[in-house]
Amino acid sequence: MEFADETEPARWKEPLVLRHCPNWLLLVGQFVTIIRDGVVVRRGIVDDVTPDQEALWIAQEGPEHRRLFERAYGFQAWVEQQTNSHPQNGSF
């Protein structure tokens, strides 16, 4: 899945590739895109994850409040990778 967002900083000069990350414990402190039914719902930094990985919180940023996303409701977490880079150690 590719995602290009012109509102992002100029450092992203090419489309980003989103990779699904089923292991939510790896995402604390990471910038993610939350997707449900193929629609981007929210983007932001993962603030916390429940030990069973069934829910995660995206941190408050600007006017956006801290928000809980539950796997049971179909939310998925995706990490971004520039198309010219490669996964480091395959952790996601």
Quick one: the chain helix, strand, coil %, rounded to 5? 10, 45, 45
pLDDT of 37 strictly over 70 = yes
Q: Is residue 46 part of a domain?
A: yes
- Report pLDDT for 14: 66
* Residue 39 in domain: yes
Number of compact structural domains in the chain = 1
**Cβ proximity of 60 and 73 under 8 Å:** no
Write out the residue range of the structural domain in which residue 44 sits.
2-6+15-82
- 91 inside domain: no
What is the arithmetic mean of pLDDT over 68-80? Answer: 96
Query: Shortest CA distance to 71 belongs to which of 24, 26, 29?
Result: 24
CATH no. for residue 65?
Answer: 2.30.30
Residue 56 belongs to some domain of the structure: yes
The answer to pTM > 0.85 is: no
Token couple for 17: 């590739």
* Structural domain contains residue 88: no
In a domain, 68, yes or no: yes
Residue 38 — very low, low, confident or very high, per pLDDT cuts 50/70/90?
Answer: very high
